[in-house]
Amino acid sequence: MTTQAYTFNLDSFPLLTMQELAPGRSLIGQGVLSLLEFEQFEALIAFLPVTEELNTQEVLLVQADSSGTLERVYAPALFATEEGDTILRVGSNSWPVTQQPGAFKIGTLTGYLNVEMKESLKKEQYMVVTVLFSDDADTASFSIGVRLSQESELTQVQLQKLFARGEAIAPHLMVAGQAGTGGDVGKMHELPLGEYSLVDVEQVEIAGKPAKDGKPEELPRTSWILGLETGDRVWAKGNVIRLLKDSSSSNWMKSCVNRAIGTMEATKTGFKLSLCVPHTLKVTKIEALARGYSVTCQIVERAALGVAALPSVGVAAIAPVTAQRQLVGNAPSDDFEDMPF
């Protein structure tokens, strides 16, 4: 009997390249995917536990450029929950995954870890971690990505030993985020140029790392995640960092609370500011550098004018807005391109 293999990569969605998608990231599924492309998800879901919360219109997170052309797909993958459990995330849908020595189990599928070392165009080594799930009769197999957290320092050998012993992998996984994000906090340079309604700002305290294997010590640091109305969550860059790290009495996040235009709540890793009045993230220029990207960006206190692309050189002329707060300029970035899984 022949096993039908499903990989959920860009090559799995040839007809999707003909679609004019919403710029940025969006969730799609039945009705947008062709019947053949959607059948991949139907085949996977058929082996998973039945859930009344299944949303077949949100099974694939995609990223498109400012013209709506497909750039990237965020395939089904293993994530962690905030409670420390392992889950399979398929678009906005989630299923619990159990683990035993040498295998993962979900529904009627059993999965085995696969770890490969690959080399980027910059000649840098990186790990590609997947789990190959199949049913007992081997009628179908599904290659599912494993989203390791940025803080994970597991080597290829350590990861394989952990799996063989049946130790929980969840502490080393990225935590699934808000619905629509696939759990992924993206890089600002991945967004198409334009304006985005800003919903919240989360301040995150990141622990330091001791010197190890020739790598220098990393000191504890503070970072910020911007929550956008599109469902995207991106790390702050450039001018936005300058605004948010301001420790003076005019600190913007505190001033939002003082002016009753935002509310603050504590989180496990810091705190989050939820905005009550329109704010906009503007991304007006993205430049590739030898080491990462430079992003010209700013937060302004007004509603977004839309997500239409702006010129790639210089800052677009925008009509003045009363009480608008702006910061303009370029800032070098030490972010690196995410590796696809």
- Structural domain boundaries, residue 276: 188-300
Shared domain for 152 and 205, answered yes or no, is no
Tell me what pLDDT residue 306 has: 54
The number of folded domains in the chain is: 2
286 and 169 fall within a common domain: no
308 located within any domain: no
> Pick from 125, 159, 184: which residue ends a domain?
184
* pLDDT for position 184: 62
Q: What is the maximum span of the chain, computed from C-alpha positions, in angstroms?
A: 70
- Taking the C-alpha atoms of residue 231 and residue 252, their distance in angstroms, rounded to an integer, is 23
Is position 258 within any domain?
Answer: yes
Give the β-pairing of 77-80 and 70-74: unpaired
Decide which of 300, 320, 336 is a domain's last residue: 300
In a domain? residue 338: no
Please tell me whether residue 153 adopts helix, strand or coil conformation.
coil
The span from the CA of 225 to the CA of 233, in Å, is: 6
Whether 291 is covered by a domain: the verdict is yes
Q: Do 48 and 126 belong to one domain? A: yes
- Is 88 domain-assigned? yes
Give the model's pLDDT for residue 88.
Answer: 96
Residue 309 lies in a domain: no
Residues 97 and 151 in one domain: yes
* 163 lies in the same domain as 210: no
Please give the chain's pLDDT, 341 residues, in tens: 688 999 998 899 999 999 998 877 788 999 999 999 999 999 999 999 999 899 999 999 888 877 888 888 988 999 998 888 999 999 989 999 999 999 999 999 999 999 988 877 767 778 889 999 999 999 999 999 998 886 778 889 999 999 999 999 999 988 886 433 444 678 888 888 888 899 999 998 877 777 766 667 778 888 899 988 877 788 999 999 999 988 776 688 889 999 999 999 887 778 889 999 999 999 999 988 877 789 999 999 998 875 433 333 222 222 222 222 222 222 333 333 333 32
Dig out the tokens for 254 from the structure.
């505190």
| Distances in whole angstroms, Cα of residue 248 to Cα of each of 31, 177, 251, 261 | 51, 31, 6, 19
Does a structural domain hold residue 63? yes
CA angle (309 as vertex; 334, 331 as ends), nearest 5: 25
In this structure, are 114 and 21 located in the same domain?
Answer: yes
d(CA 58, CA 95): 14
pLDDT value, residue 32: 93
Instruction: Note the pTM of the prediction, 2 decimals.
Output: 0.64
- Binning the chain into helix, strand and coil, the percentages to the nearest 5 are 15, 40, 45
Are 195 and 307 a contacting pair, CB within 8 Å?
yes
Q: Same domain for 231 and 141?
A: no
Q: Please give the pLDDT value at position 190.
A: 82
- Within a domain: residue 335? no
DSSP state of 18: G
